[in-house]
Amino acid sequence: MKQYRVRPGVGVKFDNSDPDDTGDYRNNDSGKAKAKDDTGKVIARLDGLQERLYANGDRSLLIVLQGMDASGKDGTIKHVMSGINPQGCRVTSFKLPTPEERAHDFLWRAHREVPAKGYIGIFNRSHYEDVLVTRVHGAVSGKLARQRFDQINEFEHMLHQSGTTILKFFLHISRDEQKRRLEQRVRDPEKRWKWNAGDLDERKLWKKYMRAFEDMLVATSTDPAPWYIVPANHKWFRNLVVARTVVAALEDMKLKRPPAPPGVDWDHLKIQ
């Protein structure tokens, strides 16, 4: 999955990233079926890795999901994280700041939701909203946004040094695909609950958001906390890319089987 990783200091232009990309899988029924089968195998691997993460209790994993409306943040959580024990995972959705949150620095609400050691935390949107929505709508200047980029990098570096592995995914969809998904919400009674008229207002600002995302990805993709631009027009490929990246990160932790409690004769232990 390294091809989707944003290298630190390297410029990002979405014109060079194809949201329709499906990697080595053909975009047909057989390719889709193969990708789904491979995704299932990867997700099955998550179960054992998460159990070791929880049992060791000395590391944590933070997954950040960002993207335009209808890019698939909820769907990614639903499908990829289906292999995770809910007891060891927490999802936090970041919406408009509450009065209490606005009374603190912009990173305060994110910091208090960072996963404890042994846990996986998922941010559905995140602290990056304060350099995206606020910037696009003119609530913060470009100068203040750059200052916040530095503060975010320092924050994430501190988390990394404290034992938190950070993975950040930008779910990259095309404007046409967003239109199709929003129209689907209108047509499908089962999806209408997701409808938000404000999504149409944000859609009008598409170009501004793309420029803000490009700046954000360049400024905040670091070795301790990398960004991945995930082709997300095809949900089945999006899920595979995210699942493989998460599993690879957990495997890189070299999580060992915790030792059994000492002082027990395991070979002769009898339970009445």
Residues of the chain with pLDDT under 70: none
Per-residue pLDDT tens over the stretch 46-56 = 999 999 999 99
Helix (H, G, I), strand (E, B) or coil at 58: coil
Per-residue pLDDT tens over the stretch 215-254 = 999 999 999 999 999 999 999 999 999 999 999 999 999 9
Please tell me the distance from the alpha carbon of residue 90 to that of residue 115, in angstroms, as a whole number.
8
pLDDT of residue 265: 87
pLDDT of residue 48: 93
Please tell me the distance from the alpha carbon of residue 272 to that of residue 262, in angstroms, as a whole number.
20
pLDDT of residue 201: 93
pLDDT of residue 184: 93
Helix (H, G, I), strand (E, B) or coil at 173: coil
pTM of the model: 0.95
User: Taking a C-beta distance cutoff of 8 angstroms, is the pair 62, 165 a contact?
Assistant: yes
Please tell me the distance from the alpha carbon of residue 181 to that of residue 203, in angstroms, as a whole number.
12
What is the C-alpha radius of gyration for the chain, rounded to an integer number of angstroms? 20
pLDDT of residue 248: 97
Domains in the chain: ranges and CATH: 2-252 (3.40.50.300)
115: closest CA among 55, 52, 61, 155?
61
